A and B are shown apart, each in its own frame.
Chain A
Amino acid sequence: DVKVTQSSRYLVKRTGEKVFLECVQDMDHENMFWYRQDPGLGLRLIYFSYDVKMKEKGDIPEGYSVSREKKERFSLILESASTNQTSMYLCASSLYKSTDTQYFGPGTRLTVL
């Protein structure tokens, strides 16, 4: 059974703080993704990675960066948090580039004050 975990369910930060969101998967998946979920906007892709130390921009990368030092871990970094980054953040993973099923983590509800 695939397990994707995220470091926090709820997080409250102040404007300008540096924020780290961690995601870990235990099934040796190659692909990992970060999305943000906002009402009426669906799931929007921020960044993804298909290998260690590899990353690609998604549809809304501005204000975010990522790190993938180990295959099982994919971190999302908000260098200087802003109020418009208040959102639900979902991590996902899939086995290979060519396989399609994405498995999601439980999400982190981030509030930036």
Chain B
Amino acid sequence: GENVEQHPSTLSVQEGDSAVIKCTYSDSASNYFPWYKQELGKRPQLIIDIRSNVGEKKDQRIAVTLNKTAKHFSLHITETQPEDSAVYFCAARSSSNTGKLIFGQGTTLQVKP
């Protein structure tokens, strides 16, 4: 079945360092890959997304890269700040065209001041 694997499960960095979270997906027909951020006690919110016709997308300090051949995509956060501390989820859109997303297991990012 469709599956998304996310690593690492936890990540601790010093403020100002970079953080990278990686995901692999199983369905080669997936064409949309969003990233959600969930702060403690709050709802997940979309922070960035990428479609399969693009290899990289940036929005200020965050960027996402996609390697369709390897079925692999990554979230990069530069110059991390304490407010970046949260759980991050990657997802891949199912090829079944129902709007269904398959989520990864989540990464807890801690940014130490």
Q: A42-B6, A42-B105 are in contact. Are A31 and B45 (CB under 8 A)?
A: no
Is there an interface contact between A102 and B101, defined as CB atoms closer than 8 Å? yes
Q: Within the assembled complex, what's the spacing in Å between the Cα atoms of A99 and B49?
A: 12
In the complex, which residues of chain A have a beta carbon less than 8 angstroms from the beta carbon of B43?
A: 4, 90, 104-107
Q: A102 CA to B1 CA in the complex, in Å?
A: 22
Interface pair A94/B99, CB less than 8 Å apart: yes
- Encoded as 1 (CB less than 8 Å from any A CB) or 0, chain B from 37 to 50 comes to 00000111110010
Residue of A nearest to B104 (CB): A42
Chain A contact residue count (CB 8 A cutoff): 28
The answer, yes or no, to whether A58 is at the interface (CB within 8 Å) is yes
Q: Is the CB of A101 within 8 A of B103?
A: no
A18 interface residue per 8 A CB criterion:
no
Q: Is the CB of B99 within 8 A of A98?
A: yes
> Are A104's CB and B100's CB within 8 A?
no
Complex contact B44–A104 (CB within 8 A): yes
B98 to chain A, nearest CB (A): 6
A-side contacts of B36, CB under 8 Å: 104
- Give chain A residues whose Cβ lies under 8 Å from the Cβ of B100: 33, 45, 48, 58
Shortest distance in angstroms between A38's beta carbon and chain B's nearest beta carbon? 10
Cα–Cα, bound, A97→B93 (Å): 11
* 5 nearest CB pairs, A to B: A43-B103, A42-B105, A104-B43, A42-B103, A31-B99
**Which residues of chain B have a CB within 8 Å of any CB of chain A?**
1, 6, 9, 32, 34, 36, 42-46, 49, 89, 93, 97-106
Known: A90-B43, A97-B98. 6 other contacts (CB 8 A): A31-B99, A40-B106, A43-B106, A58-B100, A99-B99, A105-B43
